[in-house]
Amino acid sequence: MKEKEYTFFRLNQDSGIEDNEKVGKPFKIEENNLGTAKYVIFSDLHKGTGRKKSDAFLQNEYTYCYALNYYLEKDFKLILAGDIEEGWGFKLKNVIKRYKNTVFYCEKKFVEKGIQREEGYYFRIIGNHDKGWGKKRVRKLLIPALGNNEVKIYTSVFIGDRILILHGHQGDATSDKLKGIAKNVVRFVTQTVFSWFGRKKDRAATSAQIRKKRDKYLYEWAKDRKLLLIAGHTHRYIFKSSSNVNITKDDLDKFEQELKIEKEKDEKDSIKILRLEEYIKIVKEDISEVGDIPCYFNTGAGDYIDGITGIEIDNGEIKIIKWNSPRFNYKFTGILPDALPDPKRIEVFSESIDEILNQIPTI
Ligand SMILES: [Mn+2]
């Protein structure tokens, strides 16, 4: 089977179209009113064991806890869309041990709120790096860390009929099939080699080519299925099937216009031309116009050096948000210090979900 077909097959499996006992099940949240619903979706936190050089999440620990408290207070439901723990690099047992009193303590509050309100406030979706969360380990490690409350891991989560959330590794050649031996190699490399040379990165996160291919497949599948799809895995946020990393397409048009004008001048500024050309090239590589239909969104990641990105569904709007981590030296003591600078929440993009859904054809 070719990669694209295999990706579609795996996406169908994990969203429940094709039956597969082994990979678990999707979950559907009955959501009757998107106009008042509140969800926050994070993915790719890659929590490690707290070593500065090999744990890519560590510098965002405080920011993540701060954000979780913000969302809990504002009555958001939390959806964790895969690669939440870095299970290839570390033993899940040790990740839990390191973050039990901080991150898991904050996540636990969503589980407890769900029990109180008798509706789900905490949803977990499997990724490739936290695939180790089989039923046994969930029971032995995750459930105790979340206050001994029942927690399930899903292959995907539907919000109503038209919004689907999954991790996005489905069908990715190496990420989706990594077996025992390869996992041990990754673990060795993460804990030794990367501790010497710096942090490791996900394959899908480092190669622009793989990232673009993944984005394209996920987009095409969502379009086929007539869904609004929210995924993670590629570590770069996408809004309405396009990624404008730092500047918008309008900005890019402006630069291209400027370049054109400069080139037509009698006395050309050759340095300016070179700079503009170089700048446009870099920006273009980073801008990914995946397609015309606004059916594909990506959360980004939680292991950036300066913060975390995610997606909010809030009172009829869908938003890309970034939580900027303040710079400080945070040394683990087991409890969160209360006198730290506040992380900042920035709205990168925001638009009406109804308007977006109207642009996704249903026939
Ligand atoms: Mn992944």
Residue 259 lies in a domain: yes
Q: Is 363 a domain residue? A: no
Q: Tell me the residue ranges of DSSP E strands in 163-302.
A: 163-165, 228-231, 242-243, 288-289, 296-298
Nearest to 297 by CA among 231, 211, 358, 205: 231
One-letter amino acid at 295 equals C
Instruction: Please say which residue of 286, 303, 337 terminates a domain.
Output: 286
* Cα of 32 from ligand 1 centre, angstroms: 31
What CATH number does the domain containing 177 carry?
Answer: 3.60.21
Residue-level pLDDT at 241? 93
Tokens of residue 235, six digits: 């570590």
Spatial CB neighbours of 7, under 8 Å, sequence gap ≥ 6: 170, 171, 172, 217, 221
Return d(Cα 216, Cα 220) in angstroms, integer.
6
CA of 172 to the centre of ligand 1 (A): 9
Final residue before a domain boundary, out of 286, 311, 342: 286
Residue 262 Cα to ligand 1 middle (Å)? 43
- The torsion angles phi and psi of 162, rounded to 5 degrees, stand at -115, -10
Tally of CA atoms within 13 A in the half-sphere of 310 that contains its CB: 28
Q: Could you tell me if 121 and 266 lie in one domain?
A: no
Token match 């206050």: residue?
Answer: 147
- Whether pTM > 0.85 for this model: the answer is no
Question: Measured between alpha carbons, how far is residue 41 from residues 134, 159, 231, 310 in Å?
Answer: 22, 12, 9, 6
Domain identity same for 161 and 270: no
Residues 267, 135: one domain? no
Residue at 121 is within a domain: yes
User: Are 214 and 333 contained in the same domain?
Assistant: yes
Q: Which of 260, 286, 312 is the endpoint of a domain?
A: 286
> Which candidate, 118, 171, 130, 173, places its Cα nearest to that of 154?
130
- In terms of domains, do 91 and 231 share one? yes
According to DSSP, the β-strands at 344-352 and 317-324 are antiparallel
Number of domains, the chain: 2
Residue 1 Cα to ligand 1 middle (Å): 22
pLDDT band at 200 (very low <50, low <70, confident <90, very high): very low
What does the pLDDT average to over 217-221? 97
The pLDDT of residue 175 is above 70: no
User: Which of 110, 125, 121, 135 shows the shortest CA–CA distance to 45?
Assistant: 125
Cα of 355 to ligand 1 centre, how many Å? 30
Residue at 8 is within a domain: yes
Residues 178 and 279 in one domain: no
Q: What is the pLDDT of residue 304?
A: 81
**Residue 268 alpha carbon to ligand 1 centre in Å:** 47
CA of 257 to the centre of ligand 1 (A): 38
- Quote the ligand 1 centre to 81 CA distance (angstroms): 9
Which pair of structure tokens corresponds to residue 252? Answer: 């890019």
Gap from CA of 128 to ligand 1 centroid (Å) = 5
Cα–Cα nearest to 83, from 172, 147, 17:
172
pLDDT at residue 149, rounded to an integer: 92
What is the Cα–Cα distance from 344 to 325, expressed in whole angstroms?
A: 7
Residue 7 within a domain: yes
Q: Are residues 121 and 267 in the same domain?
A: no
Is the domain of 103 the same as that of 174? yes
Residue 341 in domain: yes
Record the tokens describing residue 135, joined without a space: 């039923």
Residue 30 near residue 160, CB atoms below 8 Å: yes
Measure 263 CA to ligand 1 centroid, in angstroms: 44
Q: Tell me: the pLDDT tens digits for 15-48?
A: 997 776 666 789 999 998 999 999 999 999 999 9
Q: How confident is the model at residue 198 (pLDDT cuts 50, 70, 90)?
A: very low
**Is 35 within 8 Å of 290 (Cβ atoms)?**
no
Residue ranges making up the domain that contains 251:
246-286
Eight-class DSSP state of 164: E
Q: Average pLDDT over the chain, rounded to whole?
A: 86
Residue 88 domain-assigned? yes
Find the 234 Cα to ligand 1 centroid distance in Å.
7
Helix, strand, coil % (nearest 5) of the chain? 40, 20, 40
Judgement on whether residues 25 and 107 belong to the same structural domain of the protein: yes
The answer as to whether 318 is a domain residue is yes
Q: pLDDT tens digit string along 131-164?
A: 999 999 999 999 999 999 999 999 999 999 999 9
Residues 314 and 294 in one domain: yes
pLDDT on residue 106:
97
d(CA 320, CA 309): 7
Q: What is the pLDDT of residue 39?
A: 98
User: Rounded to whole angstroms, how far apart are CA atoms 261 and 281?
Assistant: 18
| pLDDT tens per residue, range 245-294 | 555 666 778 888 989 999 999 998 888 888 788 777 766 766 677 889 99
16, 25 contact by CB (below 8 A): yes
User: In the predicted model, what is the mean pLDDT of residues 176-202?
Assistant: 51
Q: Are residues 305 and 257 in the same domain?
A: no
Whether 128 and 192 map to the same domain: the answer is yes
The backbone region for 3, taken as left when phi is positive above 0, alpha when psi lies in -120 to 50, beta otherwise, is: alpha
Q: What is the pLDDT of residue 17?
A: 79
Please tell me the predicted confidence (pLDDT) of residue 328: 55
At 283-330, the pLDDT tens digits run 676 667 788 999 999 999 998 877 899 999 999 999 999 998 876 555
Q: Are strands 242-243 and 288-289 parallel, antiparallel or unpaired?
A: antiparallel
